[in-house]
A and B are shown apart, each in its own frame.
Chain A
Amino acid sequence: MAGLIKKLFGALVEKPWEKDQVNIDDAHEGSSFSKLSPQVSAVIVIFGVSTVLFSLIVSGYIYTIPSDQDTMFLLQSNLLWFNTFILILVSYLFKKISNDLKFGKLEKIKRNLIQVGGLSYLFLFGQIFFWYHLMSTGKFVSTNSYFSSFYFFTALHGLHLLGGLFFWGSVCSKTLKIEKEKIIEQTKNIEALSLYWTFLLIIWLVFFLIVFVFNDAVIAFCKSLLT
């Protein structure tokens, strides 16, 4: 982090017209973060934008919690734990893929990539099933601000995951066809996918902790803010 701050703000104090600086600048390769591929850079930017997006939804949730909100509406299901476990498993598989990339274990990479896609679809199916479960018990999107925010957040999270699966499909189809020595061509794409799924996991975990695991504490805290 310190390096990043130095890189970003250190550049702002350069004097491009001075002779010493000219010598340094002429040797500059152009890219500000040469170790990052464009694909990984894109995921980082998306991470930033989506973090703002999801933070605003959570802020809206906190803002609209009525002072008489109690815990009667809280989600009662173990399915969310299962879905969370699946998402953690996907990130673990991506970790394994990253290790396999270093050693060029193509077959393992292919197998794990397929599992990643399958589990991600399973997560989406689990979320939709949970929606169905909620609706069958009379908890609709318009029931109260708690469920409005829950449906809204999970829908957007799911859409982000679907977007990731679109690119996963493209990368996976190419990876399944290539020879071992050409895996290097897909490395940047796979790294970007791995980072993207880590981001989806982080976002989900934060939300899951706020609305499910520590919901009582969060609601009590929000009430204290509102009062």
Chain B
Amino acid sequence: MLDDINKDKKHSSPRTKSSSISGGERDVDYVRPADIPDQELYHGHSFLTKWIFCQDAKVIGVQYTLTAVFTGVVGLILSWMMRMQLGFPELFPFLTAESYYQMVTMHGMIMVVYLLTALFLGGFGNYLIPLMVGARDMVFPYVNMVSFWMFFVAVVVLMASFFVPGGPTGAGWTLYPPQAIIEGTPGSGAGILLMLVSLSLFVIGFTMGGLNYVITILQARTRGMTLMRMPLTIWGIFTATVLALLAFPALFVSAIMMTLDKVLGTSFFMPVMMKAGELLAYDGGSPILFQHLFWFFGHPEVYIVALPAFGIVSDLISVHSRKNIFGYRMMVWAIVGIGALSFFVWAHHMYVSGMSPWFGFFFATTTLIIAVPTALKVYNWILTLWRGNIRINVVMLFCLGFIVTFVNGGITGIFLGNVIVDVPLSDTYFVIAHFHMVMGIAPLMVIFGAIYHWFPLITGRFLDEKLGKLHFWITFLGAYSIYFPMHYLGFIGVPRRYFEMYNSPYMPSTIGMNEFISIAVFVVGAAQFIFFFNVVKSIRLGKPSGKNPWKANSLEWLTPDVPPAHGNWGEKLPVVHRWAYDFSVPGAKEDYIPQTTPPSEVIEAEVEKT
């Protein structure tokens, strides 16, 4: 064993010096000597290579985040316009039926794909994966850089559709054919083509990034970092990336097929059709095939957003309640189980498409089964908080906000998972309320909590706590003001996607409620600018945080520099001796034991069962 260590002095950590065996007994601090040579990194020297075409995953993470947030602001403005029409119809003459449908479509696609997916996997994934697993960078930094620029071009192409003749597509975010590419639908010319090209570019770019995330997590962890010592954030991002790598091809295939249908006249999704009394050239295609492909991507997409959120919120709750996460193994199993099950539930989005009742039965059953590991996670978050030393700071507020919002949205999901309940509620505002709660507001709560948590690592400064609390309360209460009434609107049958609906006899009763919801949307949207102001102000004027201000255990807080430099770890890679959840361990002097602390330094600490 000593020979092994001497062979590789160059790469062995300081800890290996104490790994000598004396008196035939094993050294408690023994770590394996490094087998793999250190990663060689390309260090940019010019502004261009250091900040624009940068290969540092942390910079790429920030680039992803800024681009995703930009698209998110566009999505937010679109939602304001939509609510303006729904709450105060005909107030603005430029809000026509065509432009309304275009806004609905672009809002949906931007928020789901270009904001949430890009932010969780591209943003948090890039910034946190190498740091949390103890790597210097992603395994293929150049490919990682190309991944971001593909995403950037995808966003540019998408935004370009606002400026082409006919405007962006107004086919609804699901882009169902045949109407998506047939004249009469807003943006059925260049708009839909740019959307499809943009989605294809997004998938290609994501595949490059996802390749990096998966291989870095599996193959480039530091010594001692076993899979079951990884923080749940990494488990969430890892599983979501695997889902995305397997689900995005369905989006890619459907986008290319629809492009071919539009441009070359193929009939992948186009049945025999007549337009203005004339028979079109299409023949033999299946619109239902598109629905299957879209939802084979679309439902895992829900968990591509949710699983990183689950992982991140687990870590935030554990750190800010000073307790180990309750049921770590169960949490990992639940993440993996939810990921696997998410590929067997897609057709619950298609109950009204005319499927066989047996299929409906199958997909309702799988949908209800997926609620089991999901509920398990909720119980574990609550049990982590139970008797914890809870710090009611902004991070914790967002975590608590996430739990209640996710439970709300999750329960309505159980309603809709049942065919018999879904059929009357399908295409109503109940569905809108459900998915905005469960995959809109809930993940956003985690994103905000995570930014408040990791901002000191990225900038070396805290975000302003008072502004943060103001931001939280307006967002939280405002979100409930928007989506609680929407459940009621759905129950009374208000259909989604309608530009105006006031000729129906029962619709006047919804006018006041629609106005209230719209005002809440304007307020909640405006409150996000408090957050932007807080970020801009705190980057320069925020209170300096120093190293590891939250007294966390995971590796990202243990870098020699704050913010971490390129290569993350200085000369020596860290060596891991424990999981990331040793908080308030009985017998330990401090209420946290970082992952790099060797057993000899905390001999008095007692192992706590979980």
Contact = CB atoms under 8 A, between A and B. Distances in A.
Genuine A/B complex: yes
B223 A11 contact: no
B610 interface: yes
B329 A23 contact: no
Interface in B235-257: 245-246, 249-250, 252-253, 256-257
A30 B227 CA distance: 8
Given A38-B140, A49-B245, A30 B224 contact: yes
Contact of B578 (A16, A45, A142): A16
A28 B32 contact: yes
Contacts of A66: 284
Interface stretch (A57-65, A105-113, A212-220): A57-65
A141 B265 CA distance: 8
Interface string A1-24: 000000000011111111100110
Given A15-B329, A33-B219, A56-B250, A148 B286 contact: no
A48 interface: yes
B105 interface: no
Which among B215, B224, B608 has the greatest number of chain A C-beta atoms within 10 A?
Answer: B215
Contacts of A22: 577-578, 599
Contacts of A26: 29-32, 224, 577
B139 interface: yes
B286 A63 contact: yes
B268 interface: yes
Nearest to B143: A42
Contacts of B578: 16-17, 22
Contact of B249 (A14, A31, A53, A63): A53
A46 B211 contact: yes
Contacts of A28: 32, 223-226
A31 B220 CA distance: 6
Nearest to B223: A30
A142 B265 contact: yes
A82 to B, nearest CB: 27
Contacts of B608: 17
B581 to A, nearest CB: 8
A14 B229 CA distance: 9
B609 interface: yes
A142 B285 CA distance: 11
Given A32-B218, A64-B285, A56 B264 contact: no
B498 interface: no
Contacts of A144: 267, 283-284
Given A28-B32, A29-B32, A64-B268, A16 B220 contact: no
Contact of B579 (A12, A17, A34): A17
Nearest to A9: B336
SS class of chain B's interface: helix, strand, loop or mixed? loop
A164 B403 CA distance: 46
A29 B253 CA distance: 39
Contacts of A141: 260, 264, 266
Interface residues of A, number: 44
A12 to B, nearest CB: 6
B252 A53 contact: yes
Given A22-B578, A33-B218, A142 B266 contact: yes
Given A56-B249, A60-B253, A60-B289, A148 B266 contact: yes
A48 B244 CA distance: 12
A42 B228 contact: no
Interface string B15-54: 0000000000010011110111000000000000000000
A19 B293 contact: no
B244 to A, nearest CB: 10
A166 interface: no
A14 B226 contact: yes
A27 B266 CA distance: 58
Which among B219, B281, B577, B579 has the greatest number of chain A C-beta atoms within 10 A?
Answer: B219
A227 to B, nearest CB: 14
A11 B260 contact: no
Contacts of A63: 286, 289, 292
Contacts, number: 156
Which among B139, B225, B284, B582 has the greatest number of chain A C-beta atoms within 10 A?
Answer: B284
A31 B268 contact: no
A166 to B, nearest CB: 12
Contacts of B267: 64, 142, 144-145, 148
Contact of A29 (B35, B249, B599): B35
A45 B249 contact: no
Contacts of A33: 218-219
Contacts of B223: 28-30
B332 interface: yes
Interface string A143-180: 01100100010000000000000000000000000000
Contacts of B221: 30-32
Contact of B257 (A16, A29, A30, A60): A60
B502 interface: no
A52 B249 contact: yes
A30 B333 contact: no
A136 B610 CA distance: 70
B276 interface: no
Contacts of B428: none
Contact of B36 (A12, A29, A32, A42): A29
A227 B228 CA distance: 49
Interface in A117-157: 141-142, 144-145, 148, 152
Contacts of A11: 226-228
Nearest to A149: B268
13 contacts: A17-B324, A28-B32, A29-B223, A30-B134, A38-B139, A41-B218, A45-B210, A64-B284, A141-B260, A144-B267, A145-B268, A148-B268, A152-B257
Given A49-B207, A148-B266, 15 more contacts: A15-B329, A22-B599, A26-B32, A31-B218, A32-B221, A34-B35, A45-B210, A45-B211, A53-B249, A60-B257, A64-B286, A141-B260, A142-B265, A145-B284, A148-B268
Interface of B: 26, 29-32, 34-36, 134, 139-140, 207, 210-211, 214-215, 218-229, 245-246, 249-250, 252-253, 256-257, 260, 264-268, 281, 283-286, 289, 292-293, 296, 324, 328-329, 332-333, 336, 576-579, 582, 599, 607-610
